[in-house]
Amino acid sequence: MTNTNIKFSSNSILVSFIILFFSILSIFKLSLVVMGIHSLSILNDLIQVKSEELKTGFIDSLGFYDLVNSYSSSIYILCAVIFCFWMYRANKNTRMLGIVNLKFSPSLAVGSFFIPILSLYWPYKAIKEIWKGSFSETVSWQDGSSSPLIILWWLCFLVSIIGTQLAKLMKPASPSPSEFFNFLCGIISMQLISAISMILITIIVVSINKQQNKKYKRL
């Protein structure tokens, strides 16, 4: 039975913004991967042949990388804000579609990302709950299947966040060229994994929104 106390709100506009800005963010991150590989190539040459020209080229490549990364970080914050709005409304819409006994309220679903320790698992549970509620056609929605995309997205998201922080913490104060090479490899890998997580969550969001709109039209 539909929850008449909560009004269904189409997330189509928010989803359009998510597709747009998450795609831009993914492009930025993939660009950072390409630029990082270019910097690694220069550094590798510099390790083998000491050259002022190569050194200048390497420093310039890092400067450009940092510039693009700063833009990427700004877009990331914007994406996070839009996603939080979407998640809040998606949770509310799930309730409006007749799904009861949800463990996460709209506010808790969003807040799960910001609670220490619990943020390592709760956001995954909150998204999985929205997915199950949106795709279930029975009252016992908890028994419904989830999507493997959700766990894959969450693992990529965690690895990219934790891996980036660990790489920065483990970076020597005055790294040798070979140590800096290894550091760059780690950072580039995390950028690639982060781009994958952005693509996956976009697919998840679009799928949930499409299914919720479809169910609402049948009410």
pLDDT digits (tens, 9 = 90+) for 100-121: 889 999 999 999 999 999 999 9
Residue 99: which residues within 8 A CB-CB, separation 6 or more?
Answer: 133, 136, 141
pLDDT, tens digit, 9 for 90 and up, residues 46-70: 888 888 999 899 999 999 999 999 9
Question: Cα-Cα-Cα-Cα dihedral of 86, 89, 91, 92, to 10°?
Answer: 180
Q: How far apart are CA 190 and CA 108, in angstroms?
A: 28
> Which tokens is 171 given?
């970076």
pLDDT per residue as tens digits for the range 154-193: 999 999 999 999 988 888 778 888 888 999 999 999 999 9
The pTM of this model reads 0.91
pLDDT digits (tens, 9 = 90+) for 133-154: 988 876 678 777 889 999 999 9
Residue 164 to residue 40: CA distance in whole angstroms: 17
Spatial contact of 83 and 18, defined as CB atoms under 8 Å apart: yes
